[in-house]
Structure 1
Amino acid sequence: MTTLTHRGWHAEAGRNSDKKPDSEEDAAADRDLNDHDPGDFKDIRLTLMEEVLLLGLKDKEGYTSFWNDCISSGLRGGILIELALRGRIRLEPLSIRKKRLLERKVLLKSDAPTGDVLLDETLRHIKAMESAETVQTWIELLTGETWNPFKLQYQLRNVRERIAKVLVEKGILTTEKQNFLLFDMTTHPVSNTTEKQRLVKKLQESMLERWVNDPHRMERRTLALLVLAHSSDVLENVFASLADDKYDVAMNRTKDLLDMDPEVEAAKARGAEMIWAVLAAFNKS
């Protein structure tokens, strides 16, 4: 769906925390809920979807690039990863007939509310679905990219605007009206540049000063955000401010990371299976 670009090519720890995990994947996911980097828990707590949108927004203009047709599906992938990291969903266990990530269905693990409107709406959709679906199918359903009129009910509507409104409530964005000749558009310029700079710096450092050369030693939310920034075609925004030499290093390391085989990497770390499954879905698109 999207590819890594180089400069000049494109200018809650769950409400059932006392419940024993029923698999290695669940155990790893539960550990992840209680083992974040200190930088992940600031006064302002952002979901993966909020972070992706924040990275994609033009600071002063307050909207994403008109040429970006990837961010909508990227945000839906972020919803699935966020739910998995919060212990609400997981992939069905490996079996002889279903070994590949994109063949395994998304299973509901807990329907306990998360407190986030989009996450909880998605949980209701997954619970209401008569037969379990794969990660790729869920991304398509949530985006509305389905030819089945009976499944249009699973589409999440106005996702960018709803995420932006939450970021306004958190004091990171503001709301303005801009005139574009033939129409007026609500925009959301960045008002808290410190929060966005912290997010960009975190990702830059993960590829430079804190580079570990192993995705399984990387904090899962950081790995997830890199995958989603790539899938949403906003990764260029993360590294654009770097000097040329550091930019090249960061982009090359990120490319090497995202070129890894999701099947192989998911087998090494069950708690990150959903992250690799989302990457596999976008690689196939």
Structure 2
Amino acid sequence: MTTLTHRGRRAEGRGSEKKGEGEEEAADRELNEDEPDDSKDIRLTLMEEVLLLGLKDKEGYTSFWNDCISSGLRGGILIELALRGRIRLEPLALRKKRLLERKVLLKSDAPTGDVLLDETLRHIKATETAETVQTWIELLTGETWNPFKLQYQLRNVRERLAKALVEKGILTTEKQNFLLFDMTTHPVCNASEKQRLLKRLQESVLERSVNEPQRMERRTLALLVLAHASDVLENVFASLADDKYDVAMNRTKDLLDMDPEVEAAKGRGTEMIWAVLAAFNKS
């Protein structure tokens, strides 16, 4: 992973500040008019899709060796809230800040209908001082030395997501014995839903150019970033033939190696996606 370079520079005068705010507002309008993400038509949240990608179909649990998926799911929550118009990064002002220096601001505390998203919204609203994307991922994961901020940890996230997928008819619930203990597992019972998800991601890099990510559908771009952050990206392309697998992995690597600062500046409501990628690049 490469550490992001500092590209901050000073703008001149109040006119620059107004211009920056105008660009932010225009991006918001474009986001809302182009792709109304806050819609009941959304079948799965980004977090549910990431968990589905990480689950072993028959066994019904994620790899015991995967220690990245917990933080990846928290990053997915932030992106999902941004796509639904509930949060945003603070606008660029006189001094342009890097993505990881910009605070997460509440735009709307209107309930989303999703338990994890709404719980996170309450946390963001309750904070006295705004925090950055990287700090929020750490707080929601519980990786903080400050005992007063442990209240922001989201608990049992994987189990709650699995329960939601069971309610949507994609997973089922079983009990498995692991010698010393019993564990609740959630095997895939609707394979077609997962196959549609895999096909969408595979086609996004095999049949379309990834050299211009701003032209990519935002939820697909976000899911590729989150699959990488959650260490489940290989699962996405595992079913491909060797030649296509190599092409898909190389193209995705090219996408993930792009400079988040540069790509976020191109607009179309992707700032939070690139900020999450920048946070995982740094960690």
TM-score by length of 1: 0.88
Whether 1:27 aligns to 2:25 is no
Whether 1:172 aligns to 2:170 is yes
Q: Which amino acid aligns with 2:248?
A: A
Percent pairwise identity: 87
What secondary structure, in the 3-state scheme, does the structure 2 residue paired with 1:268 have?
coil
Contact 2:37 2:83 survives alignment (8 Å):
no
5+ long unaligned stretches in structure 2: 3-22
Aligned pairs for 1:104-253 (under 5 A) are 104-253=102-251
Hey, what's the Cα distance between the residues in 2 that align with 1:79 and 1:216? 21
Contact 1:29 1:272 survives alignment (8 Å):
no
Q: Which amino acid aligns with 2:237?
A: F
Query: How far did 1:247 drift?
Result: 0.5
Hey, what's the Cα distance between the residues in 1 that align with 2:133 and 2:123? 13
Q: Detail structure 1 runs of 4+ shifted over 4 Å in the superposition.
A: none
What secondary structure, in the 3-state scheme, does the structure 1 residue paired with 2:270 have?
helix
Q: Which amino acid aligns with 2:92?
A: L
Hey, what's the Cα distance between the residues in 2 that align with 1:121 and 1:74? 17
Contact 1:107 1:132 survives alignment (8 Å):
yes
Hey, what's the Cα distance between the residues in 1 that align with 2:40 and 2:119? 24
In structure 2, what is the equivalent of residue 83 of structure 1?
A: 81
Q: Which amino acid aligns with 2:27?
A: E
Aligned with 2:65 (options 54, 67, 77): 67
Query: How far did 1:107 drift?
Result: 0.2
Deviation per CA, 1:65-119, whole angstroms, max 9, x where unpaired? 0000000000000000000000000000012445100000000000000000000
Query: How far did 1:27 drift?
Result: 1.8
- Cα distance change of structure 1 residues 35 and 49 upon mapping to structure 2, 3 Å threshold: closer
TM-score by length of 2: 0.89
What secondary structure, in the 3-state scheme, does the structure 2 residue paired with 1:67 have?
coil
- Cα distance change of structure 1 residues 89 and 257 upon mapping to structure 2, 3 Å threshold: same
Deviation per CA, 1:7-65, whole angstroms, max 9, x where unpaired? xxxxxxxxxxxxxx9713322331343389xxx997x7000000000000000000000
Q: Which amino acid aligns with 1:198?
A: R
What secondary structure, in the 3-state scheme, does the structure 2 residue paired with 1:23 have?
helix
Aligned with 1:262 (options 260, 263, 269): 260
Hey, what's the Cα distance between the residues in 1 that align with 2:210 and 2:224? 14
Contact 2:176 2:185 survives alignment (8 Å):
yes
Query: How far did 1:251 drift?
Result: 0.4
Hey, what's the Cα distance between the residues in 1 that align with 2:40 and 2:156? 27
Hey, what's the Cα distance between the residues in 2 that align with 1:29 and 1:137? 25
